[in-house]
Amino acid sequence: MKSHAGAFFTGEYRNVLAEFGYEKAAIRERLEAAWRELFEGGEDTRIYHESGGDMGYMLDTGNLDVRTEGMSYGMMMAVQMDRQEVFDRLWKWTMAHMHMTEGANAGYFAWSCSPDGSRLSDGPAPDGEEYFAMALFFASHRWGDREAPFNYGTQARDLLRTCLHKGEDGLGDPMWNPHNKLIKFVPNCEFSDPSYHLPHFYELFALWAYPEDRPFWKAAASASREYLRTACHPETGLAPEYAYYDGTPNNERGYGHFFSDSYRVAANLGLDWEWFAADQWACEAAGRIQAFFADKRPEDYRRYSIEGKPFEEKALHPVGLLATNAMASLAADGEPARASVDLFWNTPLRMGDRRYYDNCLYFFALLALSGNYRIWKP
């Protein structure tokens, strides 16, 4: 991989699509068109819906619920696209329906609700919280803070404080293990999900969280990079959905294989390298993942062991998988990187019931590969 200083330091973001010969005007139109389809399109394409006079939600079209994953993803998309009204609608819905104020999970967000706002679970999912915090920081820096709940920066810092210090009074559990600095799958479980590990977010939390929490986040960035080295297979690059703290697959409930959650690892490796270029290993791992899929067609993507053994079960989200593999080209190079990007460019957004997860990952890849997934600084 060529030397790279990281966009955080240079302020320059690669447009990989343009590097591979696609016209900048066509790239921009693809990005705008994807936004329109997901946020303003017809009922067979959109995943965003307005609610009431000033709220909105992202619908998981496969499960017909609203998840902190999708709400936080929608907020990140909105801040990157400079759509403050959509961002505020999503955040207000989240605070109105998902924010928990009582019990062991007070301060966290209920991970699943019905579109009418009623809760389907009182448990949180840490991947939602970390995306909420990052999107809120970016909103604070891009648009400025207003009255609560749109005092974005304070909301982000308070949320991160809860994530780290919950349970110190004996009630509830933190989202990160305080000793090894690794994010948990859920607060009351002592194992992790490799796709939750976002060291490029933690580097920024280490700058913008409350001062007393900043050393933790700096350490967490290093811990997560080391963890991914243990969780990704040394030959295939594949990671399991759930893994123990030593990186070995947690297959107690059948989640020790490469499947839907796992796809995000390739995208995270790419974005971490693009933003911070902190670990050359990320380039190697991204390349291994792309090489593994180089001879496989999307219609035949499957569940795999991390060693690469295919199972009969077909992938539920083939478009999401090819999108994250393309986003890995921020770190990888060579022919598999070019082939992954070409496959992505020549694949449209997914239609139908399962489109939500695929198209969220697709949109993030489009942002990143066009140089538009950016760090918004104070």
**Same domain membership, residue 203 and residue 93:** no
Most distant pair of Cα atoms in the chain: their distance: 57
pLDDT digits (tens, 9 = 90+) for 280-337: 999 999 999 999 999 999 999 999 999 999 999 999 999 999 999 999 999 999 999 9
**Residue 185: inside a domain:** no
**Same domain membership, residue 294 and residue 155:** no
**Residue 301: inside a domain:** yes
**Same domain membership, residue 199 and residue 87:** no
| Catalytic residue chosen out of the listed positions 127, 261, 274, 358 | 261
Counting other chains too, the contacts that 174-181 makes at CB distance below 8 Å and 24 or more residues apart are 175/108, 175/124, 175/126, 175/129, 176/126, 176/216, 176/220, 177/245, 178/216, 180/223, 180/245, 181/216, 181/219, 181/220, 181/222, 181/223, 181/224
**Same domain membership, residue 216 and residue 361:** yes
**Same domain membership, residue 54 and residue 38:** no
Domain ends where: 142, 175, 208? 175
**Same domain membership, residue 52 and residue 28:** no
CB-based contacts of 292, cutoff 8 Å, min separation 6: 236, 237, 238, 308
**Same domain membership, residue 237 and residue 90:** no
How many CB atoms within 10 Å of residue 95? Answer: 15
**Same domain membership, residue 239 and residue 152:** no
- What b/e string do you get for 338-373 counting C-beta neighbours within 10 Å, with b at 16 or more? bbbbebbbebebbeeebbbbbbbbbbbbbbbbbbeb
User: Nearest 5°: CA angle at 221, between 216 and 226?
Assistant: 120
| Catalytic residue chosen out of the listed positions 37, 60, 69, 274 | 69
69 is catalytic: yes
Cα-Cα-Cα-Cα torsion 85, 115, 75, 48, nearest 10 degrees, comes to -70
SS3 67: strand
Sign of the torsion formed by the C-alpha atoms of 287, 289, 295 and 299: negative
**CATH code (residue 131):** 1.50.10.10
**Same domain membership, residue 252 and residue 106:** no
How many domains does the chain divide into?
A: 2
261 is catalytic: yes
**Same domain membership, residue 128 and residue 31:** no
Nearest to 16 by CA among 356, 357, 327: 327
Q: What pLDDT was estimated at residue 295?
A: 97
Q: Residue 253 — pLDDT band, cuts 50, 70, 90? A: confident
**Same domain membership, residue 265 and residue 226:** yes
pLDDT digits (tens, 9 = 90+) for 79-101: 999 999 999 999 999 999 999 99
Q: Which domain holds residue 68?
A: 48-175
pLDDT digits (tens, 9 = 90+) for 105-121: 999 999 999 999 999 99
H or E element in which residue 142 lies: helix 126-143
Mean pLDDT, rounded, of the chain? 97
Distances (CA, A) of 318 to 79, 156, 321, 330, 346: 27, 33, 5, 20, 14
pLDDT value at 252 more than 90? no
pLDDT value at 3 more than 90? no
**Residue 186: inside a domain:** no
**Residue 112: inside a domain:** yes
Domain ends where: 123, 145, 175? 175
**Same domain membership, residue 277 and residue 142:** no
